[in-house]
Amino acid sequence: MPYRPTKLCTPIDHAVSRRRILGLGAGAAAGAVGLGGLGGLTQPAVADKLKESDKQVLFVWLDGGMSQLESWDPKPNTRFGGPYRSIKTSLPGVHFSELMPRSAKLAHRLCLVRSMCTQDNSHSAGVPRIQRGDPKNRGVIYPYFGSAVAQLMGPGKSKLPPYVWIKPGSGGFKHQDAGFLGPKYGSLAFGDGKPPDNLLRHESVTTEEDDARNALRQRFNQRYGQNRRPAANEANSYVYDMARTLMKRQDLFDASTFSKNDVQRYGEHDLGRHMLIGRKMLEAGVRFVKVNSYGWDTHGDHFNGTASLIGKFDQAFSAIIEDLYATGLHKRVLVIAMSEFGRTPRVNGHYGRDHWPEAWSLAMAGAGVRHGHVVGQTNDEGTWVTSDAYDIGHMFHTWFTALGIDTRFAEYDNNGQPLPIAHDDMHPVKEVLS
C-alpha cells in the first residue's frame, strides 16, 4: 500500500465563493464572457480580441507521476531523500536534483510551484481531473485545458489545428478531450510525431479536382446537418478543414530539416524528437501543443528508472526553453511541465515510490509568468506542504490569466447553462504571474 498521510493538507479556498459575491443575476451575466461549444461568446468584441491574440501554450505532460524529490524539490541526506544529491541552480539558494543539470542552469528562466496539493491518488481519477481542472462536480465533463484554449482562442492566424498532441504510439482525432464543448474541440494527435495516415493527396488528383470534391463534401454535410444536432456534423467538417490546412504544411513533419546540433541537443530519444516537432508547431503558430512522455509510474526500481526518464526530460526541456528565449517566442508561449501527481517520500519494498498528490511540484516558463521565481515550499523531508497549498483549480485560474483571460468573468455557455472556466472557490496564484 502507498504511504498515506494521517492528515490531508487543505488547499486554499474562500469561505464565500467568488460566484456568490458576484451574483448570478443580470448584472453578473452582462460582465461575463461565454465560452460555450454551442453557444459561442456572449461578447463578440472580447471574443475577437482573444482570437486575435498571439499567445500559445506548450504543455509537457509526464504521464504517471514525476518525482518531485528527484527533480524540482530534492531533499538529500534525509530518510526519504534517496541517493541523489542536490545541485545549485542559476537562482541563489535554489537547488534541483543532480539529475537535472541543464535545467538547473536555466532556473532563472523558470517559475516553480513546489506546493501542489491535489485530491486524487490514482491515474484514472488524477489524469482527467488535473487536465480538466474540474471546477466542482456539476454533472458535466469539463474540457481538457488544450480543448478549452482551442475553443476560446481559436487557431489564430496560422489556421492550423489549434490543439495538437504529440505522443508515442497511435494518433488520430481525440474528441474525448473536449468534454461538453463538443467533439469539434478535441485534440489532433500525431502518433510518434508522424502526420495522419493518407494526409498526402494522391498525385493523380489535381488541385481543381480536390477543390471540387471538398465543395461536394461540404454540400453533403450541410444537407446531413439539417434537423440534426450540430455538434457531430460541425466536428466532422472541422476535422476535414483542418486536415486540408495541414496538407499544405508537410514541412512540419520533415525531420530532415532539423540540424544535427538540434537533434543532439534535444536528444535522440522519443521525447527529444517529439519536443523538436513541438517546437516546429509553435514556430508555425499552432495555438496549443501538448507533448507527452510515458513511463513515469515508478513503483519499482524507481531510482534507476527515474534517472533515465529525468535525464531525457532535462535534455529536451532545457533545449526548448533555450530556443524559445533565443528566438523571442517566450514572450508569447506559456510553457507548463507537470504530471498528475508526485511520488511518495517513503520508498516501498520494491525500491519504488508510489503516488503522492499531497505535496508535489510543477514548472512553468515563458508568457505571463514570473521568471526566476519559486512559489511554495515543503517541509525538510518533503512529506507535507508548509506554505499555502494549491490545487489544480488555482493553476487553471493562473494559466488562463497568463493567457489574458479574466477568470473573474469568463464563463462557459453549456446550452444556456453558465459554467465557470476554473474552480469558482479558487483564484490565480498572484506570485506566479508576471
- pLDDT, residue 226, reads 77
- Integer CA distances (angstroms), 183 to 67, 165, 174, 239, in order: 34, 15, 8, 10
Which position has the higher pLDDT, 409 or 70?
70
- CA dist., res. 30 & res. 302, Å (int): 53
Q: How confident is the model at residue 25 (pLDDT cuts 50, 70, 90)?
A: very low
pLDDT at position 237 over 80: no
pLDDT at position 51 over 90: no
pLDDT at position 23 over 50: no
- pLDDT, residue 196, reads 79
Look at strands 373-375 and 110-116 and give their pairing.
parallel
- CA dist., res. 386 & res. 343, Å (int): 17
What's the grid cell of residue 219? 454540400
In Å, the largest CA–CA distance within the chain is: 70
Domains and CATH numbers, the chain: 18-420 (3.40.720.10)
Report the DSSP beta bridge partners of residue 231: none
Q: How confident is the model at residue 186 (pLDDT cuts 50, 70, 90)?
A: very high
Q: How confident is the model at residue 203 (pLDDT cuts 50, 70, 90)?
A: confident
pLDDT tens column, 122-141: 999 999 999 999 888 788 99
- pLDDT, residue 19, reads 44
- pLDDT, residue 345, reads 98
Residues 6+ apart with CB under 8 A from 185: 37, 143, 147, 148, 150, 151, 163, 177, 178
Question: Quick one: average pLDDT of 295-302?
Answer: 98
Look at strands 342-347 and 187-191 and give their pairing.
unpaired
- pLDDT, residue 248, reads 81
Question: Quick one: average pLDDT of 381-388?
Answer: 98
Helix or strand (DSSP H, E) at 208: helix 207-225
Which position has the higher pLDDT, 35 or 416?
416
Q: Which of 117, 72, 59, 61 is nearest to 98 (CA)?
A: 72
- pLDDT, residue 13, reads 46
- pLDDT, residue 15, reads 38
Average pLDDT, the chain: 88
Q: How confident is the model at residue 10 (pLDDT cuts 50, 70, 90)?
A: low
- CA dist., res. 109 & res. 282, Å (int): 18
Percent of the chain with pLDDT over 70: 87
Q: How confident is the model at residue 7 (pLDDT cuts 50, 70, 90)?
A: very low
- pLDDT, residue 39, reads 35
